[in-house]
Structure 1
Amino acid sequence: MFVPRDLQTAARAVAVFVTVALTTTVALAQSDPLPSWNDTAPKAAIVEFVGKVTKDGTPDFVPEAERIAVFDNDGTLWIEHPMYVQLAFALDRVKAEAQNHPEWKTTQPFQAVLEGDMKALAAAGEKGLVELIMATHAGMTVDEFHKTVTDWIATARDPRFKKPYTELVYQPMLELLSYLRANGFKTFIVSGGGIEMMRPWTDRVYGVPPEQVVGSSIKTEFQMKDGVPTLFRLPQVNFIDDKAGKPVGINEHIGRRPIAAFGNSDGDLEMLQWTTMAPGARFGLIVHHTDAEREYAYDRNTEFGRLDKAVDAAAVNNWTVVDMKNDWKQIFPEK
């Protein structure tokens, strides 16, 4: 069949256009650094901020050495319901060590743990939690505790999802950590959880090495045991890295004021304030748990990860609030 030359040219032009369009679409899809984020306001805000502080020669440019981003852990990077993972660890340690402590059968809060009385355990409050942690996290060397944590984190399973806790990390936040590091940021974890509870696995799971983890701690003491130098964990609180303690911990461990902070609860309020309420380009983000089907839905009325004052402060301070149900395509990594 004869086809006029002008039609052949037009057909070739259309074919080239379609090919280029398809190639560009695929390339853009593959180059999306945050594929688990829906194309809503939080994703746009993140990309805009990163673009702003990394564009040399502009007023908002931030040198790489000053690109510090801090992340809470519980409820921000991994699951924190039905209870904090460290509390689950402490409860398991009480049960494992109960045979060596017969007095625990009649002593609270240990009795509540052994009897499964969560109401009595909740009534023990923060004081009871500290008692549990002192009893189960101390009295051993740093190396022994490291092994205990490593063994537990490898075998423990979440009661609802029946998966290791290290698989119940948030895929969108893993992508965000990688995205920031690819743009010259140094990422730190700043958590109310125990620093030695997190350090054995954060590098493998988050790409955050031990020296970039800031957390609560108990006192340690240098001892020579049989000619071997050791660090021994004492049943005494050293530092609580929560609420107003977070800016203090950041200053002591990092030595630079962050330009970006990510949290999910009132325990992160002061960290967000310290990070964002200063001159220059700054970014604050709160993860709001709104997805009861894929994870959990909670905010003001919960014992774990209460989000009350911080979400009110977000509106005043122009912090980005992530609605997990509407802003995240998926919650956990797909295995």
Structure 2
Amino acid sequence: MKKLTVCLTVLLMAVMMFAVPVTAEETAPMFTEWNPDAPALKALTEYVEDVTDEASPNHIPQTDRIAVFDMDGTLVGELFPTYLEVILLTNRILKDPAYQPDAEMLEFGRMTRDHALDKSFPPDYDYEFSYHQAKAFAGMTLTEYADYITRLLVREADGFEGMTYASAYYLPMVEVVEYLQDHGFKCYVVSGTDRFIVRTFMEGVADIPYENIIGSDTALAARNQGDTDGIEYVFTGDDTLVRTDHLIIKDLKTNKVIQIAQEIGRQPVLSFGNSSGDASMNNYTLLNNRYRSAAFMLVADDDVRDYGNPAKHDELTEKWQGMGYHVISMRDDWKTIYGENVKKTGVFHWLEDYAEDRIPADAPGNDDKE
């Protein structure tokens, strides 16, 4: 036994002598896109170090390390000049030759176009949007819908140079997702955007699987199902799933909480959002939680690299901090937003891109099949 101990000691010393030294690059900090003195970053890393430490009284078992993220304005841009799904629907209504909108749909598309730049949508716009979205894409298979989304994603993002819609994600927030995953957190996207848009967009952005993506939902049906209820219809090899015109849920505010409870089944311990539509999700994370938890709100206050509003920084910071949230300032906390090669042009082509003289499909005498 003594001889074996001596041999093991010699072997260990040899390994230590010839071990490759760790380079500075290999120990580089995880957060290369953040300013190192950002208060929100400090709060996040201190939190994670605490709850992942098995010796800490705040330790959270890995099965309960649930982090939820909004998408638009939290993980990806929403100011080119509006949300990705709004651009998608506007294109469908006003520019797609394969789709013939009726008068009511055309009116909605034009209203969206005319109010997108100054964000002056009517109070009930969020629900009305998803209602019209369901109608406009009804009949598409899931593959056709994903292909339609992808064709938009490869376009140059309006108001920017060097960036497509597909690459319009916040690099610092991608680092947050990767950091949390490296520390045993399961990350979910909980978005007001249509679930299948989120799934398609998030591919290649962050390693978040389809089953971890929650969004607004439109009912699906088998292509040959007709009016037969799904509980009666038997899916066959000749069927494929198609989108219907029935909106199931708009995933905003308390609906986010309900969806989290139904689909995840665990109370989150970390939440990230950027607007009042995310406040319920943040509160659900913070309040009555058996674990130490934290919530973060992004403030779009950078008008140099993006189209944020610096004038709202103080107001929103005070509001969100008053609700117990940590505030992430895009202007002050991030070294970059989309990458150093991406430039804000200061000019939108939105109105000219979606100028049109379409005739409603239900207009008297309209026989245009395009």
State TM-score, norm by structure 1. Answer: 0.81
Task: Tell me how far 1:171 sits from its aligned partner.
Answer: 0.8
Q: Comparing 60-69 with 227-236, which one deviates more in the overlay? A: 227-236
Change in Cα spacing, 1:102 to 1:320, as seen in structure 2 (3 Å) is: closer
Q: Comparing 169-178 with 314-323, which one deviates more in the overlay? A: 314-323
Aligned to 1:46: 44
SS at match of 1:235: strand
SS at match of 1:132: helix
Distance 2:167 2:294 in 1: 27
Distance 2:114 2:222 in 1: 38
Aligned to 2:257: 247
Show CA shifts across 1:130-149 (max 9, x none). 35312323222222212222
Distance 2:111 2:301 in 1: 31
Task: Tell me how far 1:258 sits from its aligned partner.
Answer: 0.7
Which consecutive unaligned segments of at least 5 residues does structure 2 have? 1-20, 226-235, 342-370
Aligned to 1:158: 157
Q: Comparing 251-260 with 89-98, which one deviates more in the overlay? A: 89-98
Aligned to 2:335: 329
Distance 1:217 1:307 in 2: 35
Q: Which amino acid aligns with 1:257?
A: Q
CA contact (8 A) 1:266 1:307 kept: no
Aligned to 2:203: 203
What's the C-alpha RMSD, in Å, of the aligned pairs?
Answer: 3.0
SS at match of 1:109: helix
Show CA shifts across 1:278-315 (max 9, x none). 232101111111110011223898xxxx998x855532
Correspondence 1:142 to 2:153: no
How many matched pairs?
A: 304
Show CA shifts across 1:205-237 (max 9, x none). 111111110000111113448952221211111
Aligned to 1:285: 296
Change in Cα spacing, 1:111 to 1:264, as seen in structure 2 (3 Å) is: closer
Show CA shifts across 1:240-293 (max 9, x none). 111111111111111111100000110000000001112321011111111100
SS at match of 2:204: helix
Whose helix proportion is higher, 1 or 2? 1
Distance 2:32 2:262 in 1: 35
Aligned to 1:183: 183
SS at match of 2:151: helix
Task: Tell me how far 1:159 sits from its aligned partner.
Answer: 1.0
State TM-score, norm by structure 2. Answer: 0.74
Q: Which amino acid aligns with 2:107?
A: Q
For 1:38-77, list aligned pairs within 5 A. Answer: 38=35, 39-77=37-75
Q: Which amino acid aligns with 1:60?
A: N
Equivalent pairs: percent with the same residue?
27
Show CA shifts across 1:168-211 (max 9, x none). 21111011111000000111100000101111231321111111
Change in Cα spacing, 1:136 to 1:57, as seen in structure 2 (3 Å) is: same
Distance 1:268 1:233 in 2: 27
Distance 1:181 1:106 in 2: 42
Distance 1:265 1:307 in 2: 15
Task: Tell me how far 1:28 sits from its aligned partner.
Answer: 8.0
Show CA shifts across 1:33-81 (max 9, x none). 1111112211111110110011012211111111110000000001111
CA contact (8 A) 2:303 2:310 kept: no
Distance 2:125 2:211 in 1: 31
Change in Cα spacing, 1:203 to 1:65, as seen in structure 2 (3 Å) is: farther
Distance 1:27 1:106 in 2: 58
Distance 2:224 2:318 in 1: 51
Change in Cα spacing, 1:60 to 1:111, as seen in structure 2 (3 Å) is: closer
